[in-house]
Amino acid sequence: MSAPITAVLLCVASAAGYAAAAVLQERLAQRPIGVLVRMPLWWLAIALNGAGAALHVVALRYGPLSLVQPFGVLTLVLAVPLAAVIARRAVTRVEGRGIVLTVAGLLGILMLAGTAKGVAVLSTGQLLGLLMATAVVLTTLGGWGAVPGASVLWSAAAAGVAFGVSSALTQTVAVHVTGDGPAALLNPAVVVAGVAIVVLSSAGTLFTQRSYRGGLGAPLAVSTLANPVAAAAIGMVLLGERIAGGGVGALVAVASAGAAALGVSLLTRAQLGPRTPAKIAPQLGQACPS
């Protein structure tokens, strides 16, 4: 099996894990943390997020950021029918059109994704510059999202950026570790990147939990789009990744991105089931095997 196909299969499995976790997190978002830590369903969501992250890390070893990151959009595509199953309803026509447009746009982008150097890594200078720029962006977005009455979408955007940058760092660490073995852990750049991954992943999780207080559809759409946009910017600017096909390829990529954006906008209108606390546990208990 070729490396790109392996990366694609891993990405689909990762998106499925993230989608299931998102549905669980959103339905439990109104509960205080003291209650959540005593709920098996919350820990199931954490485990699903962990599984999705692990599969994503492996995928980054087989494919460049420009190939792997767009699959984050599949999280929203899979979350909609999953939430419909939990709520015991059919997927609506609007949701169906949104899924078709999103998948079509994603396929268009994937056909054009490429890199001049295979799976590239960040240099030490690039790593430090990226971390400083990320700190500024997250501080700004997080500050806007924390303002009383502000849109939760700022927090969702911050989450997407945090996870997108974390993926770029993860790819660098994975390539060094698989290439150099345990000796890679003595590389200062690998150590700094590893610490930054933990910090960014934690920040992304907190931003995500904050954004879900306003529902699942729109915040998940914003974060799943901000993630590949941030990663694509890193890939293009720092890692030498390019869109195949020259000018024509760029036009097709723009059209594909437009189709995906339209699909996501339709999916944000999805009614993802009731969030009444008394009804949540029975529904989820029937949908998830113990």
Q: What is the C-alpha separation between 112 and 114, in angstroms, rounded?
A: 6
The pLDDT of residue 261 is: 76
The pLDDT of residue 277 is: 40
> Which residues touch 279 (CB under 8 Å, ≥6 apart)?
none
Give percent above pLDDT 90 in the chain. 8
The pLDDT of residue 196 is: 93
- Confidence band of 133 (pLDDT split at 50, 70, 90): very high
| Residue 125 in this model has a pLDDT that exceeds 80 | yes
The pLDDT of residue 123 is: 82
| Residue 286 in this model has a pLDDT that exceeds 60 | no
The pLDDT of residue 131 is: 92
The pLDDT of residue 216 is: 66
DSSP 243-270: ETTHHHHHHHHHHHHHHHHHHHHHHTT-
Nearest to 153 by CA among 227, 56, 220: 220
The pLDDT of residue 55 is: 87
The pLDDT of residue 116 is: 45
pLDDT digits (tens, 9 = 90+) for 55-86: 887 887 787 766 777 777 777 778 778 877 87
Give the pLDDT mean for 102-118. 65
The pLDDT of residue 223 is: 81
The pLDDT of residue 289 is: 34
Give the pLDDT mean for 116-120. 56
The pLDDT of residue 138 is: 92
| Residue 280 in this model has a pLDDT that exceeds 50 | no
| Exposed / middle / buried, residue 209 (Cβ in 10 Å: 0-12, 13-18, 19+) | middle
Mean pLDDT of all residues in the chain?
Answer: 76
The pLDDT of residue 136 is: 94
- Confidence band of 269 (pLDDT split at 50, 70, 90): low
pLDDT digits (tens, 9 = 90+) for 199-238: 998 888 888 878 877 666 667 777 877 877 787 788 778 7
Cα dist from 241 to 3, 116, 235, 238, whole Å: 17, 6, 5, 8
Tokens for 170, please give them. Answer: 């993860």
